[in-house]
């Protein structure tokens, strides 16, 4: 652990911290001191404890606001996840329908090919009959 000398609420303090916590600690101290300075008009008029209480209330209110925002964001994320799931299910159903239609098209294409083949045979037979009729009429 390392030590850091800081001024919080016009009081010099020596704080111990882990290296990876230094930035968070200095940011927290900065916020506290900004809050302290925000109430500078009350310095000397009310006790430091009252100012600290006001700062605590303000910070607690901010924490509550962030918690509310976080809850709202989580709710929105859940709603978006639900919407994505519904759209994904709809898309999957659409893809299944497309697959089914493609299969039906493939079956119909095979039926058409068979029908064309039968029609070609009939046309060939009709041509043969026509040739025989014409040949018979020429005799």
Identify the pLDDT of residue 9: 87
User: In the chain, what are the domain boundaries?
Assistant: 1-38, 43-113
CA distance readout (Å), 81 to 7, 72, 76 = 46, 14, 8
pLDDT at 96 over 90: yes
CB atoms within 10 A of CB 4: 13
- Reported as a single tens digit per residue, the pLDDT across 97-130 is 999 999 999 999 999 999 999 999 999 999 999 9
Query: Which of 6-10, 90-94, 96-100 is predicted least confidently?
Result: 6-10
**Which tokens is 137 given?**
């009429």
CA distance 25 to 85: 41
- Of the candidates 62, 57, 48, the residue with the CA atom closest to the CA atom of residue 9: 48
Q: How confident is the model at residue 91 (pLDDT cuts 50, 70, 90)?
A: very high
Q: What is the pLDDT of residues 55-65, one digit of tens each?
A: 999 999 999 99
Tokens standing for 53?
């209480």
């Amino acid at each position: 652990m390392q030590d850091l000398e800081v001024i919080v609420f016009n009081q010099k303090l020596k704080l111990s911290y882990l290296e990876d916590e230094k930035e968070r600690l200095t940011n927290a101290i900065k916020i506290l001191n900004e809050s302290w300075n925000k109430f500078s008009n009350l310095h000397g008029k009310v006790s430091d404890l009252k100012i600290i209480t006001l700062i605590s209330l303000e910070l607690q209110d901010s924490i509550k606001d962030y918690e509310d925002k976080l809850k709202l964001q989580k709710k929105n994320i859940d709603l978006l996840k639900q919407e994505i799931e519904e759209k994904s299910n709809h898309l999957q159903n659409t893809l299944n329908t497309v697959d089914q239609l493609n299969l039906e098209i493939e079956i119909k294409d095979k039926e058409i090919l068979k029908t064309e083949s039968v029609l070609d045979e009939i046309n060939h037979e009709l041509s043969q009959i026509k040739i025989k009729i014409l040949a018979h009429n020429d005799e």
